[in-house]
Amino acid sequence: MNATVPCIEFEDVVAGYRDFMILNNLSFQVRTGSITLLIGPNGAGKSTVLKTLFGLLKPRQGRVRLNGQDISGSTQKSLLAQGIAFVPQGRNLFGQLSVYENLELGGITLGMKTTHERIPEVLEFFPRVKERIHSRAASLSGGEQKQLEIGRALLLRPKVLLIDEPSIGLSPIVVKDVFKLLRKLADQGTTVLMVEQNVKSALACSDDAIALESGRLVLHRPACEILADPTMERLFLGGAHAANAAAA
């Protein structure tokens, strides 16, 4: 693959819901095999970026490209076939079905033989989910359900993983494991675009960060620079200054 072609590219994308535009001429690029963290206040449009990439929203203007190919308006089936997997914000399981059945459904585009071969390998990442393999998904704890959702996406061995607030409901140790797993996947070539409010630890495992405000890009910098910059700490991480300001 041509190293100069970005894995993901938004070019002047305008997208939104009905007549209300959320992304306003948004342009950015994401390198293959990198983790890019999307940050910004509630309602900034972070989830909307992921939904637009996964074909849940069609850009009204501009282009979304995957490895140089225009995918604006592609169906989810075609995007899945191109190796994009999406773990949305919130709960997204079939609660009445078992853990195993949820995983089987995740592999529906792979065929049952491949799915059954891959399920054990995915479960190795999530031992607690493995123990509950025959339980109803709804009976898992919130954090276990999130791990199952991540596992379900990994079944596809995605080339691009879109993941929206994975840490919600996970205990700190599991969050650390999930970030470590994302890092390992990225180091093996998977491109990860992640939304995460747990900014400091997410930055530590990311290569780049993009900050959005009202659907516009306000910053795109290496994650290590943001972590090292006290101004950034005040703006995005709620450092001591922000705490003092809030107290005042």
Ligand X SMILES: Nc1ncnc2c1ncn2[C@@H]1O[C@H](COP(=O)(O)OP(=O)(O)OP(=O)(O)O)[C@@H](O)[C@H]1O
Tell me how far apart the alpha carbons of residues 35 and 30 are, in angstroms, rounded to a whole number.
8
Report the alpha-carbon distance of residue 218 to residue 25 in Å, rounded. Answer: 12
The reply on whether position 202 binds ligand X by CB under 6 A is no
Q: Which stretch binds ligand X (CB under 6 A): 41-49, 69-77, 119-127, 148-156?
A: 41-49
Q: Are 93 and 139 in contact (CB under 8 A)?
A: no
Nearer to ligand X, 48 or 147 (CB): 48
Find the helix or strand (DSSP H, E) in which 76 lies: helix 76-81
> By CB under 6 A, is residue 43 in contact with ligand X?
yes
Task: Say whether residue 4 binds ligand X (CB under 6 A).
Answer: no
Give the span between the Cα atoms of 81 and 221, in whole angstroms.
31
Binding mask 78-117 for Mg ion (x = CB under 5 A): -----------x----------------------------
The two tokens of residue 188 are 């093996």
Among 44, 93, 170, 199, binds ligand X (CB under 6 A): 44
Residues recorded for the chain: 248
26, 37, 45, 166: residue in contact with ligand X (rule CB under 6 A): 45
Name the binder of 107 from Mg ion, ligand X, none, CB < 5-8 A by kind: none
Taking the C-alpha atoms of residue 235 and residue 38, their distance in angstroms, rounded to an integer, is 14
Q: Which of 84, 83, 88, 115 shows the shortest CA–CA distance to 102?
A: 115
Distance CA 35, CA 62 (A): 24
Which residue's CB is nearer to ligand X, number 30 or number 99?
30
Question: Residue 47, interface with ligand X (CB under 6 A)?
Answer: yes
List contacts with Mg ion (CB under 5 A).
47, 89
**Which residues in this chain contact ligand X in the complex, by CB under 6 A?**
17, 22, 40, 42-48, 89
